[in-house]
Chain A
Amino acid sequence: MEAYLDNSATTRCLDAAVEKMTEALTVNFGNPSSLHMKGVDAEEYLKEARHNIAKSLGVSDKEIYFTSGGSESNNTAIIGTAEVRKRYGNKIITTSVEHASVKNPMRYLTEHGYEVVYLNVDENGIIDLEQLRNEVDENTILVSIMHVNNEIGAIEPIEEVSKIIKEKNPECLFHVDAIQSYGKIKIRPKELGIDFLSVSGHKINGPKGSGFLFVKDGDRLAPRIYGGGQEKGLRSGTENVPAIAGLGVAAKYADEHLEEHREKFYSLKERFINAISGIEDIHINGKTGRDSAPQIISVSVYGVRAEVLLHALEDKGIYVSSGSACSSNHPSQSSTLQSIHVKREALDSTVRFSLGIFNTEEQIDYAAKTLSELVPQLRRFTRK
């Protein structure tokens, strides 16, 4: 049996999205900027995708900007705001558990004279709201907080964050990295007071190289790419029409099936956690109930190196991540796990199981059973 349980790394693309993309590549392959019919036909894909995405968030079409994915959306929102709002202040607040595509733009801004404050998190990965309240001041131009943590599935209290920001400094803008939450948790940026929201296509069964940034009407951002002025000048370059078409299909599908998927994930998650609870000396990081993300399960297996466990599972057709896939190619340890005070010896012993819409109960049972069998075998051989 095969069980792909690395859906927070990436997902299989929907067939309907692939079909639409093929059509956009072979039939209506025009450049949306062209004045002739081929261009007009291509532009239809953009309009349709933009509309479906806007609808899923309850925002207006003109507030959606297409990007190449989550990393670009995060970079654009953060660096773009810092540049535009330089004269209002130089302080930015974020968390110690962000993805590299937020953490590294922050590092870049620190080198360029901005003051970046990293909020602490508790043992479940939830940020300290009191610290936030103390930090937001007149000099703060941006708060950037992820909605769902990619490594342990913690859900950050963005509604409270938004309230605190508006209370302390109504001019301060709010960016949310929703890459792991979009399609799993209903988001209403208008009600939550969100200015910028990043989403990636390939995490929701769309194609890689697709994504969008919601920008609240009236907010301005400095572009990262200059050129022909596409996406109202925020993101020049001929639009990736097939990817956007696929993204539109995936977003619509994710939105229409959100409740159904959420219930399915929570039920699979519970089933998996119950099934592995008998394994000795393991720990599930973060919260595990309905107050955690439905699709992410972070498991520390004491005494077994994550990479070894990963390859042993792979050998049985089960695909998972060690830490988060984006940081696991580097030997450096996860800062999220360090932030939630995972025991030192477990930092290198943590794997992430992440669920997707194609997973079945049989796969979950198989993965749990295989894990239960492998752990004692692998524990016989550890570095002394």
Chain B
Amino acid sequence: MYKAFLIKYGEIGIKGKNRRLFEDALIKNIKIALDRVEGEFEVTREQGRVYVEAKSEFDYDRTVEALRKVFGIVEICPACLTETRDFEDLAKEIIEFIDRTYEKKDFTFKVFAKRADKKYPMNSMEINVELGSRILDAFPDLKVDVHKPEIELNVEIREVVSYYSESIKGLGGMPVGTNGSAMLLLSGGIDSPVAGYMVAKRGVKIDAVYFHAPPYTSERAKKKVIDLCRIVSEYAGPIRLHIVNFTDTQLEIYEKCPHDQLTIIMRRYMMKIAEAFADKDGSLGLVTGESIGQVASQTMHSMFVTNEVCKYPVYRPLIGFDKQEIIEKSLEIGTYETSILPFEDCCTIFVAKHPETKPRLNIIKKNEENLNDTIDALVQTAIDTTETIVVEPED
């Protein structure tokens, strides 16, 4: 029944000179999202509003679903756009709209008009009153309630005239691509895909590194990471995924360093390798799924030691989340089911029974000296032999 959507965006409307840039990115991302939906769409903008208009037959549910994954959208309102500007004709059209939209005409309502086009002969208040009374004449069982109406009938008079009475919540955030890019350390677990999502939500383009350790981790574990990446890309757009063969580096650390420090030292090298790809891809930061105290490598002490090798800022969007909160978020995003598939990742495979939880930087650095002769070459080989793929949403 609806042929159009009025897209409301919040934060990006108030960004001064940058506004145009943000709107351009939003429109671009909406177009990309709609490319995967059957149908022809026109996306236009006018004074703090974006309109999506279907120019052919289209799948309503899939369109809404696609729009609901675009960061930057606060509300999606299925709307009617009209050429009619004359008030009397417009009132008739809106009465017909109510007639076909609502089966039972016994609800409370209010008219909420916005007249952005100051040349229009009536102001917002007058439209509210006049339109309200005409609707009451047409449907005598309706009641006006200006405080808590069941239905809010919105009429917007701009260059385009539109009216709508329904609103679907969007994800909020900012359009991806408006805030630089970051390198996500992606494992097969629950946390890191959520972390990537959270950062992408703030408009950051995401690229990712995965540490593969064959034969200790399986081909299926790698496939699972690609699948997770694909789910995140439905929100974040295409992701360059760097698949690093980490086995030899990991085994070297395992042989030369104290076992209870394996994870910490390993994570320091993961950060270094991630930074090499951040350099290549022009990222402005690293992103991890760490949350304080969740596991041995995520205590304040451990993160202090891990962080010490990084020259890039490390963003940890889940830092204050409890596990249950992260799980809920991953269920919302749709990554949970894939994350819990039982394939080991390289962090768990050699983990000590009692890993160090309060590592000291000087001791860790001292023990890393055992690696001096070999590790640079191994890290370089790991970087040079990395397989990079671009992961995009499925059609």
Contacts and interface: CB of A to CB of B under 8 A. Distances in A.
Interface of A: 307-312, 314-315, 329-331, 380-381, 383-384
A228 to B, nearest CB: 36
A381 B215 contact: no
Given A381-B251, A384-B353, A311 B218 contact: yes
Contact of A308 (B215, B219, B351): B215
B342 interface: yes
A211 to B, nearest CB: 27
A310 to B, nearest CB: 8
A384 B254 CA distance: 10
Interface residues of B, number: 17
A2 B99 CA distance: 71
A331 B343 CA distance: 9
B312 to A, nearest CB: 31
A330 B350 contact: no
Contact of B215 (A311, A331, A383, A384): A311
Nearest to B216: A308
B65 interface: no
B352 interface: yes
B392 interface: no
Interface string B322-334: 0000000000000
Contacts, number: 35
Interface in B322-379: 342, 344, 349-353
A168 B377 CA distance: 73
Contacts of B217: 311
A315 B215 contact: yes
Given A380-B255, A381-B251, A307 B344 contact: yes
Given A381-B350, A383-B351, A384-B353, A311 B255 contact: no
B282 interface: no
B261 to A, nearest CB: 12
B216 A330 contact: no
B255 A312 contact: no
Given A308-B216, A315-B214, 8 more contacts: A311-B214, A314-B215, A314-B219, A329-B342, A381-B251, A381-B350, A383-B350, A383-B352
25 contacts: A307-B344, A308-B215, A308-B216, A308-B349, A310-B215, A311-B214, A311-B215, A311-B216, A311-B217, A311-B219, A312-B215, A314-B215, A315-B215, A331-B342, A380-B251, A380-B255, A381-B216, A381-B251, A381-B254, A381-B255, A381-B350, A383-B350, A383-B352, A384-B259, A384-B353
Contacts of B251: 380-381
Pairs of residues from A and B, 3 with the lowest C-beta to C-beta distance, nearest first:
A311-B215, A312-B215, A384-B259
A331 B255 CA distance: 27
A22 B267 CA distance: 54
A263 B255 CA distance: 46
Contacts of A314: 215, 219
A307 B350 CA distance: 13
Given A315-B214, A315-B215, A381-B251, A330 B352 contact: no
B223 to A, nearest CB: 13
A322 to B, nearest CB: 11
